[in-house]
Amino acid sequence: MKTSKRLITGLFLLCLLLFFSFVFSVSVGAVSVEFSHTVKILMNRVFNTGISNIDAVQGDIILRIRVPRVFLGMMVGASLSIAGLVFQALLRNPLADPYTLGVSAGASFGAGLAIFLSYVVGAFMKNFLPVFAFFGGIATVFIVYLLARTRGRIQVLTIILSGVVVSYLFSSGLVLIMALLGDRAHEVIFWLLGSLSGYHKWLPHAAGISIAIICFTFFFFQDLDLMALGDDQAKALGVNTEFVRILLFSTTSLVTAIAVALTGTIGFVGLIVPHSMRLVFGPRHKVLIPASAIAGASFLPLSDALARTLPGLIFGSSMEIPVGAVTSLFGSPFFLFLLMRGKKKYWF
């Protein structure tokens, strides 16, 4: 079959992109490490080649700072892309993204609260910021779900509206916190912009859960396809729509909350990666799920690498720009290019 060959080629190219993204992101940064050194350090770590002439400082920079950061970017990129893909399918809404049900608003409120408490209770509270953000995100989704439930079932439109309303509620709570913080509010703003620089020690556990959930999502590729038909028809064909919706809302909200807790609210990835993959591969989730995960895992570390190096290249300064700004700055033209090219073939 010609089409399946094309799909396999496409997925193979995406894997190449992922590899390139990893190597590139690891080898660029504020401290310049020669590319050949980077490769040597990585090879030594992976294959135990026993190369001896490795600079210890450079080794630490690569293995302890950059590699965890790139891994975090991969995990968060894949998580947000899958969450966006699933939300768009479950809500049958092209504008849905991982934050539609209010995860980001709740998590931001939690993070703001942690920062506020660090001044009121004690500085140690800041260590718990990801925990606050995580539970803020999860709690919000839970509230939204309870609000949208009528007679044991959820209507698509009701849950979107509940998500929007509850998001506003938490956003106003956050604004209140920022007002109380006064001059120190910049800490909250910095968190809101999103960054891959912190919380690497949580990475192994977080990545374990996220990868497991992403793989689990793949079990439902057919159900997700059929839900495009609308609930009645999907049910009549044997899809347990209520169950699939609750299950996948929960799991994808969980990965989103984990991602947001560790990196702040990085926008755009969850919206644009799934749509780009639809433009390239078509509407079938059997392909879309792996494609979105791989594309998201490549896109976010690349954006982050640019966020770390662009200011240096352009202004010669060592500041970092927020990764969320880069995702949209470079993501939008690329997406528009795909949209123009595929205009005739693309309907959500």
Partner 1 sequence: MGEAVHVNELTVHYDQDPVLKGVSLSIDEGEFVSILGPNGSGKTTLIKALTGLIHDIEGEVSLFGKPIRSYRRKDFARHVSFLPQDPPTTIPFLVHDIVMMGRFPYIKRFVTGRAEDREAVQRAMKLMRIDHLGKRHLMELSGGEVRRVFIAQAVAQESSVLFLDEPTANLDINYQVEIFRILEKFNREMNKTIVLITHDINHAARFTERVILLKEGEIFAQGEPVEIISMENMKSVFSTDVCIEYDGNNRPYILI
Binding mask 234-253 for partner 1 (x = CB under 8 A): -xxxxxx-------------
Q: Residue 149: what are its φ and ψ, rounded to 5°?
A: -80, 120
**Is there a contact between 300 and 74 (Cβ–Cβ < 8 Å)?**
yes
First to last CA, the chain: 25
What are 241's two structure tokens? Answer: 């729509």
Q: Which two tokens stand for residue 341?
A: 């090219």
Interaction residues for partner 1, span 14-43 (CB under 8 A): none
268 φψ region: left (φ > 0), alpha (ψ -120 to 50), beta (else): left
Q: How far apart are CA 87 and CA 111, in angstroms?
A: 24
Query: Which of 204, 208, 230, 333 forms a contact with partner 1 (CB under 8 A)?
Result: 230
Q: Select from 25-33, 131-139, 225-233, 289-297 the region that touches partner 1 (CB under 8 A).
A: 225-233
CB-based contact 255:210 (threshold 8 Å): yes
Binding residues for partner 1 restricted to 136-155, rule: CB under 8 A: 151-153
> What CA–CA distance (Å, rounded) separates 255 from 215?
12
Applying CB under 8 A, among 59, 173, 198, 283 the residue interacting with partner 1 is: 283
Residue 126 interacts with partner 1 (CB under 8 A): yes or no: no
Q: Is 346 in the site for partner 1 (CB under 8 A)?
A: yes
| Candidate segments 104-112, 118-126, 133-141, 217-225, binder of partner 1 by CB under 8 A | 217-225
Residues in a beta bridge with 264? none
Select the span of 104-112, 194-202, 246-254, 283-291 touching partner 1 (CB under 8 A). 283-291
Collapsing DSSP to helix, strand or coil, 51 comes out as coil
The reply on whether position 278 binds partner 1 by CB under 8 A is yes
Q: Is 229 in the site for partner 1 (CB under 8 A)?
A: yes
User: In the complex with partner 1, which residue's Cβ is closer, 222 or 250?
Assistant: 222
Identify which range of 138-146, 206-214, 218-226, 318-326 contacts partner 1 by CB under 8 A.
218-226
DSSP state for residue 124 in the 8-state scheme: G
- Backbone φ, ψ for residue 107 (5° rounding): -65, -40
Any contact of residue 45 with partner 1 (CB under 8 A)? no
Among 48, 50, 53, 232, binds partner 1 (CB under 8 A): 232
**Phi, psi (deg, nearest 5) at residue 153:** -130, 160
Site residues for partner 1 per CB under 8 A: 151-153, 219, 222, 225-226, 228-230, 232-233, 235-240, 278, 282-284, 286, 345-348
